[in-house]
């Protein structure tokens, strides 16, 4: 059974993406900080017949993230899909919002740690093996500020744009190696943000393996609103 590792797995997108890939025959490895939430997600996926396991780790604590991937490697088949979509649900030390005039090294650094260093660390745990096997998918999700500057997200946008920049380069650098990397930008209103509606696009993006970037807001706005085939 192939494995999808979801970094930053919560009851929203993480659960829905896990369910969609699980229904396609994947084992689901969920990474987040809160063990009780992970247990709930594993139980909810089990109700749907999806085999999942939780691996508590904090992406701001890189040794813990590396440790989670070591456990995943010990317990599952190789990771075929990495999906990186952590989202702060509630206050997190250092992760504050700042507008352009208030941006400082101090309030940007934690977002760089969260979005960029976390993604680089997670990728480093799976990419060498993917390249050796000649197969794999790397998907990285950010909100709209990665693509369209937003004054309210002056500091977060710097980090999300940096992650996007790296992923677009990664996509090109992996050409011909059998490994697919793409950035997914979610910029959607509350109705469209229904994670059960968004998750099938992740399966479609993975299974097609085309394009370095997927702007789901545009997909939804363009009238292609019917669910993708799964």
Ligand X SMILES: NC(=O)c1ccc[n+]([C@@H]2O[C@H](COP(=O)([O-])OP(=O)(O)OC[C@H]3O[C@@H](n4cnc5c(N)ncnc54)[C@H](OP(=O)(O)O)[C@@H]3O)[C@@H](O)[C@H]2O)c1
Among 44, 62, 89, 177, binds ligand X (CB under 6 A): 89
Binding range to ligand X, per CB under 6 A, among 8-16, 100-108, 127-135, 221-229? 8-16
Binding range to ligand X, per CB under 6 A, among 21-29, 33-41, 97-105, 119-127? 33-41
DSSP string, 65-101: HHHHHHHHHHHSSPEEEEEE-----S--TT-----GG
Does residue 200 bind ligand X (CB under 6 A)?
A: no
Binding range to ligand X, per CB under 6 A, among 46-54, 161-169, 184-192, 220-228? 184-192
Does residue 82 bind ligand X (CB under 6 A)?
A: no
Among 156, 187, 205, 219, binds ligand X (CB under 6 A): 187
Of residues 92-151, which lie at the interface with ligand X (CB under 6 A)?
92, 141-144
Does residue 188 bind ligand X (CB under 6 A)?
A: yes
How far is 82 from 21, CA to CA, in rounded Å? 11
Strand order in the sheet with 27-32: 52-56, 27-32, 3-7, 79-84, 136-142, 179-185, 213-215
Among 2, 23, 24, 34, binds ligand X (CB under 6 A): 34
How far is 41 from 6, CA to CA, in rounded Å? 12
CB of 77 to ligand X, least distance (A): 23
**Three-class secondary structure assignment of 157-176:** HHHHHHHHHHHHHHHHHCCC
């Amino acid at each position: 059974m192939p494995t999808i590792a979801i970094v930053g797995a919560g009851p929203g997108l993480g659960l829905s993406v896990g369910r969609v890939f699980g229904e396609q025959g994947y084992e689901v490895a969920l990474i987040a900080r809160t063990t009780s939430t992970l247990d709930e997600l594993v139980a909810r996926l089990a109700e749907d017949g999806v085999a999942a396991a939780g691996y508590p780790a904090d992406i701001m604590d890189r040794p813990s993230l590396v440790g989670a991937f070591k456990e995943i490697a010990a317990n599952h088949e190789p990771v075929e899909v990495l999906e990186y979509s952590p989202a702060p649900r509630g206050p997190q030390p250092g992760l504050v919002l700042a507008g352009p005039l208030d941006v400082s090294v101090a309030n940007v650094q934690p977002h760089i740690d969260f979005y960029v260093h976390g993604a680089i660390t997670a990728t480093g745990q799976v990419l060498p093996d993917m390249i050796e096997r000649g197969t794999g998918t790397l998907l990285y999700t950010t909100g709209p500020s990665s693509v369209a500057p937003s004054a309210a997200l002056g500091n977060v946008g710097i980090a999300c744009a940096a992650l996007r920049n790296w992923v677009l380069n990664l996509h090109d650098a992996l050409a011909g190696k059998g490994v697919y990397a793409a950035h997914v930008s979610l910029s959607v209103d509350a109705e469209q943000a229904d994670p059960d509606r968004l998750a099938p696009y992740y399966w479609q993006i993975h299974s097609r393996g085309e394009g370095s970037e997927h702007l789901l807001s545009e997909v939804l706005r363009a009238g292609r609103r019917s669910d993708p085939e799964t």
